[in-house]
Amino acid sequence: MWTQEQLMAEAVGGRVSQRFGDRQGLEHFTPAELHAGAKQVLARPQAAEVSPAGRALGARLLAAQWTLLLESLDLPAAPQVLELCAGSSDPVVVALDALFGSQASYVTVNLNQRLAAELEARLRGLSLQWRIIPDDAQNLAEHFAEASFDCVCFHHAVNDILQTAVAARHGYDTRDIDWWPNEQMMIEWLGEQHAADGLASVGLPELRRILEEAARVVRPGGTLCFDHWTWAYHLTLDWFPGDLFNAMIPLAREVALGLSVPLEEVTPPGLDRQWWMVLRKP
Ligand SMILES: C[S@@+](CC[C@H](N)C(=O)[O-])C[C@H]1O[C@@H](n2cnc3c(N)ncnc32)[C@H](O)[C@@H]1O
């Protein structure tokens, strides 16, 4: 699907690079440092030790991956794209801006207000048209008619859906929390629930509802795109449910291919199906 060189061409000096202020933040690294850093952040699981050059490249390379993936999908010239659970992360919006500029219409449905405010600040610096809907993605039917979108994106979002569902069962309202200091607690609850019943009573029902709704709002011929990865460092921690996090995309695949709306997998050759999945609605 892509080589490290193609991703670097986008991330440093290419379409993606322009959305990060060109070489801003990369000025002090040699080509060899950038090459080694890119290798670290592109490894899956992501390397435990990431150099300063790798850290500086991380968001750029993610956006480059989404740019090349979305470019391969033959989207219309003015695509309508929905992203679920974006939080404050920008690879999908940067990719859409790089590919379509003001022709792209982007909507995200996102619960956490603080992260949504950070995303809004990022969106204000880009050209694409955008809207942030502060709601639970389980309620997509209240916002969108069937076949409203060309593409629905889940960037590292399957774990967020599961974590939020299990946290709600604990009575924890995630709409106005400071996400990052509380994330370990949510992941521990998720791990406990996974050990107790494989997420059958909470987690999987919410994921199924959201995927069912996402499949309904995408048009025939449209796609659902997913990515996920783990950090090698997290896999060493005793509280971190590594088996579950390493299998996030296979888990989503099992749910998605059993929905009432039939979907077919069209993940481009060369993408690792443990970490990526593209589904098409026939
Ligand atoms: C930590 S952010 C992660 C953003 C992005 N997916 C990433 O990993 O880079 C998680 C976001 O997903 C949102 N989220 C989780 N479950 C959700 C749901 N059912 N409906 C809407 N937003 C949800 C949270 O509110 C939060 O804003």
What are the CA-CA distances from residue 212 to residues 123, 208, 219 (Å)?
28, 6, 13
Q: Which of these three, 72, 90, 118, is where a domain ends?
A: 72
Q: Which domain holds residue 264?
A: 76-280
Give the model's confidence band at 260: pLDDT under 50 very low, under 70 low, under 90 confident, else very high: very high
The verdict on 155 and 250 lying in the same domain is yes
Q: How remote is the CA of residue 112 from the centroid of ligand 1, in Å?
A: 7
Q: Which atom of ligand 1 is nearest to the CA of 183?
A: 1
Residue closest by Cα to atom 12 of ligand 1: 85
- What number is the average pLDDT over the span 241-250? 98
Give the model's confidence band at 131: pLDDT under 50 very low, under 70 low, under 90 confident, else very high: very high
Residue closest by Cα to atom 11 of ligand 1: 87
Average pLDDT, rounded, for the chain:
97
Residue closest by Cα to atom 27 of ligand 1: 87
Query: Maximum CA pair distance of the chain?
Result: 53
The verdict on 93 and 219 lying in the same domain is yes
The verdict on 112 and 204 lying in the same domain is yes
- What number is the average pLDDT over the span 222-239? 96
Residue closest by Cα to atom 14 of ligand 1: 85
The verdict on 91 and 8 lying in the same domain is no
- What number is the average pLDDT over the span 33-57? 95
Q: How many CB atoms lie within 10 A of CB 270?
A: 9
Which residue ranges have their beta carbon within 6 Å of ligand 1? 85-87, 89, 109-112, 115, 136-138, 155-157, 160-161, 164, 174, 179
Q: Which atom of ligand 1 is nearest to the CA of 137?
A: 20
Give the model's confidence band at 174: pLDDT under 50 very low, under 70 low, under 90 confident, else very high: very high
Length of the chain: 282
What are the CA-CA distances from residue 213 to residues 83, 149, 181, 255 (Å)?
13, 12, 30, 13
